[in-house]
Amino acid sequence: MRLISRSAAGLDPRAQHYEGDVSGALDAVHDADVVISCAHASFTMQILGALETRTPKMVLVGSAWRYSGVYEARGHEVVAAEAAFLGSGRNGVMLHPTMIYGGTQENNLHRLIDAIHRWPVLPIPGGGSNLVQPIHVDDVAQSIAAAVTKDWKGPHALPICGPMPMRWRYMLDTCVNALGYRRVVFPVPLRPAIAALQLLQRTGVMPPIDPNILLRFQEDVSFSTEPMNTHLGIYPRDFESGLSQFLSSYIPFSRGESGKLIVSGT
């Protein structure tokens, strides 16, 4: 087994380690029997190129940004990566997780919990009426592990998500209640806020928030879990259970290292 990571700290000592960026260690991929990539989907084309004509089983991690109607550079990279993988004819799957929470490396729930800790009044874009469907990081990991054991015929792409969609405001209220706080929610009208941020961009000023983030507050995330149930045998935990698990080991937010690429070969 070969592991590619920007840091070898905490990795399986039984594996052969390649420390650095994925693009600098592609020689570890060319003769692999199974390739598991948890790096950003933008590395997909380089991984496919390193494999040349070989057809190992591939399990790649993309993002549910792939389904967003808001143009965003990194989301567009996922769309391009999926197209390249599906066009490669290789056996395997690209998993597209929705909002991931839990663990130490995500910044979605960490930032929300930190804001709840710090501020008695919380401004919420659009009042939080949009649907979200967060998935716990352990359910993502189990989905990847299940995908490795499946005998895929050709390339596939699957969204993976929490068990049911919820309003963003419900997610916030659940977090506030779990922490035992009382907080005032201040709805921020989306259209004027987006227009103001876009105006700053046009004048060459870097806005404090990317307007694309607010644009995505106008979108609903709602997926069926049937594909992950059927193809992977994974039934994700509900948000309340995942939140309880998250809070049991919560530490203040700090940015972790980027995703890892794991390669298993002969």
Going through the chain in order, the beta strands assigned E by DSSP cover: 2-5, 16-19, 32-37, 57-61, 92-97, 100-101, 121-125, 131-132, 135-136, 155-160, 166-167, 184-188, 261-265
Q: How many CB atoms lie within 10 A of CB 55?
A: 11
pTM, to two decimals: 0.86
Total number of domains in the chain: 1
Q: Read off the tokens for 198.
A: 């876009």
- The range of the structural domain enclosing residue 127 comes to 2-265
**CA-wise closest residue to 174 among 109, 104, 90:** 109
CA 70 to chain centre: 17
Integer-rounded Cα Rg, in Å, for the chain is 20
Greater model confidence, 13 or 262: 13
**Vertex 108 angle, CA 107 and 109, to 5°:** 105
Percent of the chain with pLDDT over 90: 58
pLDDT tens digits along 94-147: 999 999 999 877 888 988 999 999 999 999 989 999 999 999 999 999 999 999
Q: Return the biggest CA–CA distance within the chain.
A: 59
Please say whether the dihedral angle defined by the alpha carbons of residues 214, 218, 219 and 222, taken in this order, is positive or negative: positive
pLDDT tens digits along 148-185: 999 999 999 999 999 999 999 999 999 999 999 999 99
Helix H or strand E segment including 117? helix 108-118
Burial of 70 (0-12, 13-18, 19+ CB in 10 A): middle
CATH number at residue 49: 3.40.50.720
Q: Read off the tokens for 98.
A: 């929705």
Per-residue model confidence (pLDDT) at position 162 = 97
